Structure 1
Amino acid sequence: MATRCHGYLFLTTEDMNFLERQEGVDLCTNVIDKNLRRALGGNLRARAIVKDLEIDNLRLQKKNIDRAWRNVSLLNSLGVYTQDIRTENFMNCRVIDFGSSWTEPHAILDKADEIDTDEASVQRLSDCVLFDEMAEQEGIETTKKTPTSQHNLRPRKKAWWLD
C-alpha cells in the first residue's frame, strides 16, 4: 500500500538553513496557523519523515498499473487521500509521497459534508481522477473500474474554502 514509515525527526536549525539556502527548499514554516503553532508549543522546526529506503524496480506500466490503483484505492478506503497522484510519487506500485495528503476526519471535508455534499464527494474522489489523468499522460492503458465513471465529476475549480 505505502512505504513503511517509522516516524519523524526534528531538523536542526543548521539543517533547515542548509535546505533553505543551499538547496532552495521552502519549508513553509511561515504558513502554520496560530492554533497549530499553539499545539506545537511554538516549535516550528521542520520535521523529516523517516521511511524505509525504496528502490523502484517496478516503474508504473500496463502490467502493474492495476496493483498501483488497488493501493491508492485501499488508502482512500482508510480515509487517506493523497491529493497528489503523479508517477514520481510511486515506487514499486506504492505511494511514497504524502506531503499533500488529507486524512479523515478533516476539517474541510467535514465542513464540505455540511455545506455541499457534491464538493465533499469531488474531494474524496480526487485521487481517482488524478490516477486516471496520470495513466493517460503516461500512455498506460488500464482496465481498472474507477468511481469516476459512476459520478458526474465536474472539473476542478477553486474550492469554496479558499474564497
Structure 2
Amino acid sequence: MYGVESLFDFNLKKIFNLNNNVKLNYFINTSVINSEYTNSEKAGVKGNKVEFVPDLNLKMGLNGGYKNLLANIQYSYLGSQFTDATNSIEASESGVVGEIPEYDILDVSLSYSYKNFKLETGVNNVLDNAYFTRRATGYPGPGIIPSSPRNWYTTLQIKF
C-alpha cells in the first residue's frame, strides 16, 4: 500500500516576467493511491482494493487573463474504482455494486469583472463524455447515477 498526493502551482506571469496586467497560472494536482485490505473477517476480501479509492486522481488547468478578463481551462481524470470490498467488476442486476469506470472531464470558463460586478460564463464537460461517479443503494436509486452531459452556465455576481 502506498499513497502520494501533490500540488504544483506555477505562476507563469512571474516565471516569464510578464506585464502586471497579465495573469497566467498553471497547476497540476495528483493523487496516486494503492489502498488494499490488509485483513478481513470476510473471505475473499484480504488483498482487495478498498472501495471508492481510485489509483489515480488528476486535475490540471491553466488560468489566464488580461486586466479584468479571466479565462480558465481545467482537465480532470479519475481512474476506475470498485464499489464493494469483493471488487466486483461486473455490475449487479440492481446496479448497486460493480466497477465505476475511469472518466475524464474538460471544463472551460470566461469571466469579466468591473467594479462590484462579475459576469461569468462557462461550459462543463466540453467533450460531452458519458460517465457516472457513484452507484446509489437507496434514493434516488438503486443503481447508477449518471453525471451531467455537456452544459453551460452564466452567472452575474454583485458585491455590496
The bucket for the TM-score relative to the shorter chain is: under 0.3
Higher relative CO (Cα under 8 Å, sequence separation at least 6) belongs to 1
TM-score, structure 1 normalization: 0.24
Bigger-Rg structure (1/2):
2
Higher share in strand? 2
TM-score, structure 2 normalization: 0.24
